Structure 1
Amino acid sequence: MTASTLTGSLLVATPLLDEPPFRRSVILLLDHDDDGALGVVVNRAADLEVDRVLPDWSTTVNEPGVLFMGGPVGTDSALAVAEVIESADPPGWRECFGRIGLIDLDVPPALLEGAIQRMRIFAGYAGWSGGQLEGEITEGAWYVVPSEPDDVFGLRPEGLWRRVLRRQNDQMAFLATYPDDPTQN
């Protein structure tokens, strides 16, 4: 496995990874190479409306219109992940893969009007130094699976862990029924 092949993939926490903040998390990898990896947890909606933190962007983000907890690193900063329309190359846009990329939140939203199809804003991110993520995958902390656009922008982020596992074509699909507390089983 080469590092560059993981950009655009999902990291799905295995049941062995039972510690906050990554327990049952689903992370979209936005960048991954020999120097490390950067991603955002896409299934942790915060109880904070975007309108209260970044009011200029409140009409640009899609439902549920809240900030998401992107990871434990840099939680005082925000990353905007967006899907742009097919032919768009708006100012402040950095492609990560396909039509998914990062939007510079310092760019006035009016300059991006008509270019953004869907967008979410994340407080913080998840990051790994070179080789660290590969080591965690080898140790069994993460499953690496293909992403779908609705994984990032879907209306029900709280059930994403189970949905992503369920759609896999191997034994991983059975883990979607893994109990929240195996000792109660």
Structure 2
Amino acid sequence: MPLKLAALALLAASILSAQEPRPGVLLVASPQLRDEGFARTVILIISNDGQAALGLVLNRPLGDGRFAGGPVATGFRSLVRIPQGRKPPAGPALLDGVHLIDRAQPATADSRTFAGYTGWSSAQLRDEIRQGLWRVVPGKPALLFDSEPRTLWQRLQPQRPH
């Protein structure tokens, strides 16, 4: 009997982890999400340890290569795209060739700096996804460094057949 319970616990843990948005995925706010801080946002998950999830808002540019990363206004984080063959920075890789650095970087076509971040308990985020407030989509470097970030949310909305 204990073996069956252990197997069930392992299965439950694997199902739960499959529902956890992993670093590198995007959350696209549903049109029904009315919260002023999150309405019409696209968020890159940068950390999720099963207890807390953190992200960066990709579509709120402030100008000068900086973005409003979210309502929690502490510190700067940067996404840096590293060409293949170059030595990556010390920060973790979120996607192939894209690393997270815990400081501001000079504005270039291959870096974006975010002031602040978003955060949830992992349980709260799972619940919001189940309610349909967020759609989870695969992250791609081209989306993280999109040349028209203000329109990113609209372009990531599902296309409806005519």
| TM-score using structure 2 length | 0.77
Counterpart secondary structure, 1:93: coil
* Deviation of 1:117 (Å): 7.3
Return the index of the structure with the highest Cα Rg: 2
1:6 matches 2:22: yes
1:153 matches 2:145: yes
In structure 2, runs of 5+ residues without a counterpart are: 1-14
- Per-residue CA distance 1:34-79 (angstroms, 9 max, x = gap): 12211100000014x3xxxxxxxxxxxxxxx3x1001111x24111
- Per-residue CA distance 1:76-112 (angstroms, 9 max, x = gap): 41111112122334443322332222124389x7xxx
Q: 1:84–1:117: 8 Å Cα contact kept in structure 2?
A: no
Q: 2:30–2:40: 8 Å Cα contact kept in structure 1?
A: yes
Which deviates the most, 91-100 or 128-137? 91-100
Alignment match, 1:93: 91
1:17 matches 2:39: no
Matches within 5 A, 1:51-70: 65=65, 67-70=66-69
Matches within 5 A, 1:72-91: 72-73=71-72, 75-91=73-89
Alignment match, 2:113: 121
The separation in 2 between residues aligned to 1:142 and 1:117, in whole angstroms, is 28
Figure out how many residues of one structure are paired with residues of the other and give that number. 144
Query: Hey, which bits of structure 1, 4+ residues long, moved more than 4 A?
Result: none
Counterpart secondary structure, 2:142: helix
Counterpart secondary structure, 1:134: helix
- Per-residue CA distance 1:20-45 (angstroms, 9 max, x = gap): 11110000112223122111000000
* Deviation of 1:152 (Å): 1.3
Paired residue for 1:34, among 3, 28, 50?
50
1:103 matches 2:101: yes
Counterpart secondary structure, 1:16: coil
The separation in 2 between residues aligned to 1:91 and 1:148, in whole angstroms, is 19
Q: 2:76–2:102: 8 Å Cα contact kept in structure 1?
A: no
In structure 1, runs of 5+ residues without a counterpart are: 50-64, 110-115, 166-171, 176-185
The separation in 2 between residues aligned to 1:78 and 1:91, in whole angstroms, is 16
Counterpart secondary structure, 1:68: strand
Over aligned residues, Cα RMSD in angstroms? Answer: 2.5
The separation in 1 between residues aligned to 2:104 and 2:148, in whole angstroms, is 28
Q: 1:30–1:97: 8 Å Cα contact kept in structure 2?
A: no
- The percent of aligned pairs where both chains have the same amino acid is 38
* Deviation of 1:122 (Å): 0.3
Q: 2:76–2:116: 8 Å Cα contact kept in structure 1?
A: yes
